[in-house]
Chain A
Amino acid sequence: MMAAEYINVQIHDLVRWGLGSMIASTLVIVVGLLVFLLGRAVDIGRLFGTSR
């Protein structure tokens, strides 16, 4: 089971909001770190054609 499905099960089926929110928050933090790394590695705007 992947993270998004796990969050869905925790919140909808088991009503464990704390655990579901913790996984969601961890995912947000990991994605934030990866976006930061992406910004360091390449010009994100240039990659998607928004800057030259």
Chain B
Amino acid sequence: MREEYIVALVMFGILIVGEIVTRNDKKWSAVLLLAASVAGSLAAGMGIRFREIVEGPFGFLDAALSVAAAAVFTGLLYRTGFLEKLLEKILKVRAKALKAILILLFIALPGAFTGLGSLCILTTGKLVGEKMKAKGIAQAKIVRTVMAGAFFGMMLPPNCLPAIIASNGAGSVLPTPYVGFFMPLLVLTLPSLILYALLNVKTLALEDETKESVKLPVFELVVFLLVVAAILVEGLLTSFVYIGGNTLAFFIGAVLLVFAKGGSVNAAVESLHDAVVPLGLLFALGSFIEVTSMTGIRGIYSLLTLPQTTGGQTALLMLILMAISLVIGLFLSVPIPAFLATYAVFPIGWLANPVIVTGVSAAVGLVYLFTLRGGLFTETAGMLEDKNTKWGESVKAMLLPALLMCALAVVMVLFGDPLDFLIM
């Protein structure tokens, strides 16, 4: 047997056994990825290669910086009470369908900014959950709503963790080109979000019994609108306008919010802490990918796939890896599907356009949603301290929107090149 296969067996063996033992606990995923990286370099007879293990995360650094800045900004919006007021304002909307969409978008907001579904659950999901509980809505419906919002938030632009992961396949260990994803992500996610909201208008369109008008705090509102405007301009007109990047917009917003009522450096630190576990996973995945490249696993993969992947067969390989990701992810959560997403993009490398990469990333996003343990369901049920709601009943409500997203993802993978007008 070739040495590379043995190294791959060791690395994946550690991940599989580790995920089973830790019951897919997401905070252990980073530890497992790092342990597998160390074991991989030892199995290849290269010793503990600190250089590669430390170097790997740098492929994700630029995107991670934007996620970290967005996490602080979003956390401060929550801790200053702005998001609570914003929810009250949304509840005043009269048109039920519009209100349902807006409430779902509200839950999704922190996820859209940061790319992290867990932040939606901890902030806006918690706020909407409390309101729903006060209205006497069944716990199962609350779990399903918060989980759906977190999923859509994670997939919406500007930051989307699955797309950031998949885009690493185009950049390898070089700084990841996470640029031009705004419209593709919007096209992938928005139809499913609207479909889910319209299918669940009764649950989502919460009635507002209070008659007092709600006033949003002016300073926080101005900062929020300026940051949103900067992100929209940057995202929709990437090819024409550059105003410093999302990282800068979020960071300036966060610094300003520190001085708002309720804002403080402590609040900023707490907000960043909420993003540490997903960022740790992202960086540890970088190490894992780097070690697979160093030990020749990537070389073997290229040797086996590249001669077969000419023309339309590249898309077929991507679709096969996406399907494998979904099956593995159902039982073993995110780490292996995340790795497979980058390897799905490797064959097209620098030629990958963000439309195709967005299509591939949907598989990782769907794993976060559908995994039996360690995904959005586990996290939502944990936050709401709900032990009665079953995984199946929550996931069932997401089937139609997920199928729509899946179909759009396949279209993006197959017709990514003609659809490149979406990269603005």
Q: Do A and B bind each other?
A: no
Q: Chain B residues in contact with chain A, CB under 8 A?
A: none
Q: Chain A residues in contact with chain B, CB under 8 A?
A: none
